[in-house]
């Protein structure tokens, strides 16, 4: 007999503040200033102890403004029409609209973490934070997967990073 899925619910543990209301970069971009921060709900503030000792964190969020039904084959907006399976993509339109962004910690003041640029809309619900740990999280044999097959990989990879360019 097929196993029944387990029912569970996740709780929002904070909110992400960014300058983006309607358009955000496809991936985090390094930015200076204090425009990007994560505010943790006060009941979780003790959980931030020792986090400052890390340079980078994973920010796990719920893409709350997604309204489109997920499709199993998608065309990433930057990939020149290529169609790929949703689980081979970083699209936020997926069965569980959860995103994962790696950013640097600039400073932590009370329950607020100031970070480098995030790729989410202002007010995005925060699900979790985890430290990015050297060696554990760097994979020296990581590759580009299907991105390698794109004709104009170098140019298109500027699009995925949201880096402004002239051509």
Ligand X SMILES: C[S@@+](CC[C@H](N)C(=O)[O-])C[C@H]1O[C@@H](n2cnc3c(N)ncnc32)[C@H](O)[C@@H]1O
Binding footprint of ligand X on the chain (CB under 6 A): 24-27, 63-66, 90-92, 99-101, 119-121, 124
**What is the CA 32 to chain-centroid distance, rounded?**
18
Please report how close the Cβ of residue 14 comes to ligand X at its closest, in angstroms. 13
Please report how close the Cβ of residue 99 comes to ligand X at its closest, in angstroms. 4
Compute the distance between CA of residue 127 and CA of residue 58 in angstroms, rounded to an integer. 11
Compute the distance between CA of residue 46 and CA of residue 119 in angstroms, rounded to an integer. 26
- If the CB atoms of residues 48 and 93 are measured against ligand X, the closer one turns out to be 93
Please report how close the Cβ of residue 18 comes to ligand X at its closest, in angstroms. 8
Please report how close the Cβ of residue 121 comes to ligand X at its closest, in angstroms. 4
Task: Provide the H-helix boundaries in 21-167.
Answer: 153-161
At residue 122's C-alpha, the angle toward residues 119 and 125, to 5°, is 90
- If the CB atoms of residues 59 and 108 are measured against ligand X, the closer one turns out to be 59
- If the CB atoms of residues 48 and 63 are measured against ligand X, the closer one turns out to be 63
Compute the distance between CA of residue 55 and CA of residue 52 in angstroms, rounded to an integer. 7
- If the CB atoms of residues 14 and 99 are measured against ligand X, the closer one turns out to be 99
Compute the distance between CA of residue 116 and CA of residue 57 in angstroms, rounded to an integer. 10
């Amino acid at each position: 007999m097929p196993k029944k899925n387990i029912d569970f619910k996740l709780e929002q543990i904070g909110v992400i503040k960014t300058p983006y209301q309607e358009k955000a970069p496809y991936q985090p971009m390094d930015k200076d200033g204090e425009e990007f921060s994560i505010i943790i709900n006060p009941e979780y503030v003790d959980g931030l102890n020792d986090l400052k000792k890390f340079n980078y964190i994973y920010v796990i969020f719920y893409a709350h403004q997604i309204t489109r039904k997920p499709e199993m084959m998608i065309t990433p907006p930057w990939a020149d029409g290529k169609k790929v399976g949703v689980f081979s993509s970083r699209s936020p339109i997926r069965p569980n609209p959860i995103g994962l962004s790696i950013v640097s910690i600039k400073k932590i003041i009370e329950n607020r973490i100031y970070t480098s640029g995030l790729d989410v809309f202002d007010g995005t619900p925060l699900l979790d934070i985890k430290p990015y740990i050297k060696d554990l999280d760097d994979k020296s044999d990581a590759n580009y997967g299907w991105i390698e097959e794109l004709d104009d990989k170098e140019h298109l990879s500027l699009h995925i990073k949201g880096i402004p360019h002239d051509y």
